[in-house]
Amino acid sequence: MLNHPSPPTRQCLLLSLLLLVCACNKATCFLGEGKKIWKQPNPDHFIKNQSFLYDTFPSGFLWGSGTSAFQTEGAWDQEGKGPSIWDHYTHSTIRNKVSTETADVASDSYARWEEDVEALEYLGVRSYSFSLSWPRLFPDGNATGLPNRAAVEHYSRLIERLLEKKIEPIITLYHWDLPQVLQERYGGWKNDTMVGLFEQYAAFCFHAFGSRVRYWLTMHNPYLVAVQGYGTGVHAPGETGGPAGSLMVAHNLIRAHAKAWHTYNTHFRPAQKGKVSIVSGSHWVEPRRGAATAANVELCQQSMEAVLGWFANPIFSDGDYPLSLKIKYGALLPTFSPEEKLWVQGTADFFALSFGPNNLRLGRSLVQYGQTVTPDLRRILGWIKLEYGNPAVLVTEGGWFTEASVGKEDTVAIYLTKRFINQVLQAIKFDAVQVIGYSAWSLVDGFEWNYGFSVRRGLFYIDFSQSNRPRTPKTSAQYYRRVIADNGFPIEETSSDIKGRFPCEFHWGIADSTLQVLSYPFSPQFTDPQLYTWNVTGDGSLRPVPGIKMPTRRAMCTDYLAIRGHLRLFASTGASHYRFALNWSLLLPQGDLSNVNTEALRYYRCVLTELKKLNLKPVVILYYPTHRAPNLGIPGPLHASGGWLNYSTVEAFQKYAGLCYQQLGPWVTYWITINEPNRLVDFYFSEKEKHQAAHNLLLAHAKAWRLYEREHFSQHGALVSLALHADWAKPANPFLDSHTAAAQRFLLFELGRFLDPLLGISHEEKHSKGDYPQEMKEYLEERARVMGLPRSSLPSFTEAEREELRGLGQAVVPWGLRKLLNWVSQRYGGALSIIVTATGVDDQAPVEDRLRQHFLRSYLQEALKARQLDKVNLQGFYIWKLQDGHAPQFGLFTSTHHKSKAKASIAVYNNIITPVMLATLVIFVIYTKRNQTQGRRRGVKRRRKIEGVPVCLCPPLKC
């Protein structure tokens, strides 16, 4: 039974209660404040939208890893150990368990603990979280008797070795392996006798090991003990007592923790000066469809209170259960007396959090009305700060699982490790949560409770088929080791601040997709032959005059007010080049020259002439494929006959290009034949179709390029190219050569398959142009051989086609960053002109688009580094796009429905590219290619003279 306070102590408690009435306790004052995390808008919109933060953790951050005794020790009946409830459970025939395997040997860490310490040294951690086995120390469960000397010596050796290696031991007293004798004698945690027995066990551990231990955890994730052990029976001891059983067990676990804490606080803290807490586990939940209505927020709060709040509220808040649990369970929920509330309240020196798959699986059963359970560690840390008054937090379990078959190359585990740790970093840097450490779970593969050995969670791989249980670092261990060595995620690249300018002829552009043709003029004044009288009868009406017809004329370009309004928006940005696309299907509905839409041609001509009047340069795309348009944007008859799988489309495209060159050529200085052909091929299903479509797209570009060179270049002198979608690829697993090769192969398939045939490779002879990358051909041939095919499905070029492809001049690579620009420049030669024809970011902010502002600054700074430091011949930079249509919100202006309002990013872009007197460009280069998440702003600095930088009279740049 719980020993209630003695009369003198009771008087002190009552006095404390009186003081609490007079002055609000800190934790109590924050009760329910966690709701704000769903209600309040994020204070910094563009920071919230960053997916990754490059920064480091505070000095002294407690990097660690952890294990539990039952999962890893093995030696279940050796050297005096008694059986635990989990030993009994795994050896029994209880139907509720998923796995029929046992942990009799598990990872054999009881015998191979020195190898575990070596694994910790490999990682470079500063702490090791492990649990003591109660039935190993006291086989009969009675901590007032003599302990098992072999067990005491084992744990003492482990602690001493850790301290020798400067690794902080973090010890958990109870990680679910209750002595079986206590379950049989008392019914386990259902009986409140366990409160006193646990206090005796804790007191022994504090006495035996406490002089060498600074961090104690009384029990690990009691929620799972109560619910899965005594409610559903999925965990040991396998009891199915339902909510009533779980509630009583949870009540006793909380009181047992509190009693152990008070024992340490009274008898051991003065000399040992350690800290004690309890590990609370939880999921995270977001409102239905992200809608933070009052009702949705309340449901989310209740979901969190049903798990984390169940145990954390009594300890970190007001000493009692959340109101939502009282309403839900009524008389089933045990109660704390006023004295017990004060006695339980505040019995933790820091907040210990477990965040892993076990709680998230259970969390899905707690959501209601469309809520979403998500593994968002940053958000739950923010909730803890708001709900419990910003306590210091130690993440004692962070990690996920992989299937047992994955082995040592656990790429997904690297991704999740990176994600969780970065979420912790964001919580520290952006939300000011006091996270003091992170323990990656777990150190070695072990017995995963009801899942047995079917899943793995270790950083070190263990071959359970070998008796010596060798430990081998997985790639996730190598990654975690790097994170620890770097103390987080330092900036990837560093360089000194540089001063520089883009050249005078640099393209400052804005990119749009297919330009909508609004061919009906605004005013019918010169197209209607009728003569009218007005207001003759005083009613303001127009009345036609019978018998009189006036001469008419065709609508003029100035009659199309839509053009003038659109270009007025464009001109206000200060950009010099406007990239837009023609509508092939509209101009040639039948796909050939038998039916030319002359009105659409005339409209495009009007756009081009108006641009010329404004002294603006057009960049015109002949073919802008899109899955939103019918037939991938090509005329219907061509699509019906096979589209880009049929060579006839190549010939039809050449004729279409010829029409555009002839009709619009005098006003166009830059032509793009095809926009993103490498994305278009993704719409085809089979590998053979993808290769054939890419082949014909290349030939179509080549024929259009050669046609312009033969018949139009001498007259108009425009440049012709194609635009490729370009993403930089990094190895998913940087520790595997196969992933590094895959990243390179990705770039070859994305860019090389289109650029190699046109440009060749800078280190090869001229005669090598006109063909696909050799590496790509060899890879596809090998794949075909492995699959038992006679040859790869990659088409080959005829000699005539090779000749037509060779040396087709310029390359336009949109959406590139510095590394990508360098890759293109190095592969195809530094003399190659490169233009970034479209780059943008979705920013949902209606006007104050801070994310886009930061994006523009960061990417332009990277463009400058590519030009000035890497000598990449970058000739232009285009922003996507001019105006919003519908979502996503990429535009510099809001949609016409929202009155075409200018967003704040226009001022940023305009300020960069607009001349102000003759100030010379000064750009302060930030320290990283991906520094969006830091949101640093650099001020404008002007200098009359900068050494080594020629001054020209073109528009200066300011960042």
pLDDT of 340 > 50? The answer is yes
- Gap between the Cα atoms of 76 and 93, Å rounded: 18
Nearest to 91 by CA among 101, 105, 81: 101
Q: How many CB atoms are located within 10 Å of the residue 810 CB?
A: 18
pLDDT at 10: 39
Which of 565, 579, 583 has the alpha carbon at shortest distance from 625? 583
Overall average pLDDT of the 908-918 stretch: 65
Q: For the residues 759-786, what does the mean pLDDT come to?
A: 69
Global pTM?
Answer: 0.78
Percent of residues in the chain assigned helix, strand, coil, to nearest 5 = 45, 15, 40
For tokens 């809001």, what's the residue?
894
Residue 632, H or E segment: none
CA gyration radius, the chain: 35
Q: Using an 8 Å Cβ cutoff, are 398 and 378 in contact?
A: no
Name the range with the highest mean pLDDT among 26-30, 78-82, 488-492: 78-82
Rounded distance, CA 759 to CA 771, Å?
9
CA 512 to chain centre: 27
3-state secondary structure of 573: coil
782-814 pLDDT per residue, tens? 777 777 777 777 777 676 766 665 555 444 444
For residue 429, is the peptide bond before it cis, meaning its omega torsion is within 30 degrees of 0? no
Residues with Cβ within 8 Å of 275's Cβ and at least 6 positions away in sequence, in order, are 214, 215, 216, 349, 350
Most confident of 65-74, 828-837, 928-937: 65-74
- DSSP-based three-state secondary structure for 878: strand
Q: How far apart are CA 734 and CA 475, in angstroms?
A: 9
Q: Which tokens is 768 given?
A: 């090598």
Neighbours of 185 (CB within 10 A): 14
Mean pLDDT score of the chain, rounded to an integer? 85
At 499 the three-state DSSP class reads: coil
The candidate with the shortest Cα–Cα distance to 930, out of 375, 483, 422, is: 422
HEC string of 733-783?
CCCCHHHHHHHHHHHHHHHHHHHHHHHCCCCCCHHHCCCCCHHHHHHHHHH
CA distances to 101, 109, 856, 877 from 447, rounded to whole Å, are 9, 12, 50, 55
Q: What angle do CA 727, 731, 734 make, to 5 degrees?
A: 150
Say what the pLDDT of residue 95 is: 53
pLDDT at 554: 66
Residues sharing a CB contact under 8 Å with residue 227, sequence separation 6 or more, in sequence order: 246, 362
* Ramachandran area for residue 275 (φ above 0: left; ψ -120 to 50: alpha; else beta): beta
pLDDT tier, 601 (very low <50, low <70, confident <90, very high otherwise): very high
Q: List the helix and strand counts (H, then E) for the chain.
A: 38, 26
Q: How confident is the model at residue 911 (pLDDT cuts 50, 70, 90)?
A: confident
Please say whether the beta carbons of 75 and 448 come within 8 A. Answer: no
C-alpha 219/C-alpha 446 separation (Å) is: 19
Decide: helix, strand or coil at residue 853. helix
Model confidence at 958: pLDDT above 50: no
3-state secondary structure of 892: coil
Return the closest-CA partner of residue 408 out of 473, 490, 316, 339. Answer: 473
Nearest to 572 by CA among 882, 306, 315, 182: 882
* Separation in Å, CA 200 to CA 68, 190, 296: 21, 18, 45
pLDDT digit string, tens, across residues 631-641: 899 999 999 99
Task: Round to whole Å and give the CA distance between 238 and 242.
Answer: 11
Q: How many angstroms separate the CA atoms of 602 and 555, rounded?
A: 10
Pairing of strands 455-456, 542-549: unpaired
The CA-atom distances, in angstroms, between 3 and each of 49, 256, 262, 277 are 52, 11, 12, 21
Query: Which H helix or E strand runs over 153?
Result: helix 149-164
What does the angle CA 850 – CA 853 – CA 859 come to, to the nearest 5 degrees? 135
The pLDDT assigned to 933 comes to 33
Helix (H) or strand (E) holding 78: none
Cα distance between residue 302 and residue 287, in whole Å = 12
Lowest mean pLDDT among 45-54, 412-421, 484-493, 684-693: 45-54
Beta strand 62-66 with 55-56 is unpaired
Looking only at the bridges linking them, the beta strands covering 460-462 and 471-473 are antiparallel
Given pLDDT bands bounded at 50, 70 and 90, which one contains residue 195? Answer: very high
pLDDT tens digits, residue range 832-889? 899 999 888 888 788 888 888 888 888 888 888 899 999 999 999 999 999 988 665 7
Residue 949 buriedness (CB in 10 A; 0-12 / 13-18 / 19+): middle
Question: Residue 163 phi/psi, 5° resolution?
Answer: -65, -35
The reported pLDDT for the residue numbered 30 is 63
